[in-house]
Amino acid sequence: MLKKSTLEKIISEDLSEIWSILSQKEKKIITDNFEVQNFRKNQIIYQEGDEPECLWILLKGKVKLYKDGACGRQQILRLYRPIQYFGYRAYFASESYLSTAVAFETSVIGSIKMDVVSSLIDGNMKLAWFFIKELSKDLGGSDTKIVNLTQKHLRGRLAESIIMLIENYGFEEDGETLQIYMSRDDIASLSNMTTSNAIRTLSNFVSERLITVDGRRIKIINQAQLLKISKFG
């Protein structure tokens, strides 16, 4: 159990965008109702079909949102990074979860019950607009991804996925190695292709000296060319 002073520090620093638009009374409500949980790698946070109860905030680590498709294939819908909010859309839509959220690696995640969040929104228009903005950004990103995954060739899809990973997670200290390690299955799922096609396309990128691959570690050699392929591939 975290000390209240430690919890307040975590919330005020990590949730600074929301924190700045809350009154002192509202801040106390958040602090009193905020929980922090540790999730193991591959541990499910919520599953498709569950009833939404919480607003989830990724504090540390990585989370993937996926949906099971035909023949048991997974489609990664979104990858979250600190500090991002997730799991609340279904509550606002009065429906069950349509996808599953799982810890991509060991992660620390905060949560607040949605009935508490809903009550705060009722009394704070700025907070309402904050969530409208977040949902709008997610919707715009989803629309763009649908077009890209259905119209681009394999090379363009994979290059775009790699660029997205760069933008989301950045590099390790060498300035070249992606700060996320993904299996070939996950790369395929993210890029809407079969695992065999993902492996083949990765190998082509290696041959073209765009990247190097060592297990799950991907080092970027020619980011400019990857960006070009992602746009026109």
Q: By C-alpha distance, which of 167, 229, 171, 179 is closest to 204?
A: 229
Predicted pLDDT at 147: 66
In 3-state terms, the chain is what percent helix, strand and coil (to 5)?
50, 25, 25
Separation between Cα atoms, residue 107 and residue 103, nearest integer Å:
6
Beta bridge pairs of residue 38? 108
Compute how many other C-beta atoms are within 10 angstroms of the C-beta atom of residue 162: 26
Q: By C-alpha distance, which of 131, 127, 151 is closest to 139?
A: 131
Q: What is the pLDDT of residues 65-104, one digit of tens each?
A: 999 876 667 889 999 998 899 999 999 999 999 999 999 9
65-94 in b/e form (b: 16+ CB < 10 A) is bbeeeeeeebbbbbbbbebbbbbbbbbeee
**Mean pLDDT across 138-142:** 76
Predicted pLDDT at 102: 97
Residue 225: burial class (beta carbons within 10 Å; 0-12, 13-18, 19+): middle
Helices (H) and strands (E) in the chain, counts: 10, 10
Q: How confident is the model at residue 138 (pLDDT cuts 50, 70, 90)?
A: confident
Per the CB < 8 A criterion, the answer to whether 109 and 62 are in contact is: no
Per the CB < 8 A criterion, the answer to whether 3 and 11 are in contact is: no
Q: What is the CA radius of gyration of the chain?
A: 19
Predicted pLDDT at 71: 66
Q: Report residue 71 as tokens.
A: 């023949």
**Per-chain mean pLDDT for the chain:** 88
Confidence (pTM): 0.83
Q: By C-alpha distance, which of 142, 179, 188, 139 is closest to 161?
A: 188
Q: What is the pLDDT of residues 152-205, one digit of tens each?
A: 788 999 999 999 999 999 999 999 999 999 999 999 999 988 999 999 999 999
Predicted pLDDT at 2: 46
CA distances from 48 to 4, 70, 169, 227, 231 (A): 33, 15, 26, 33, 32
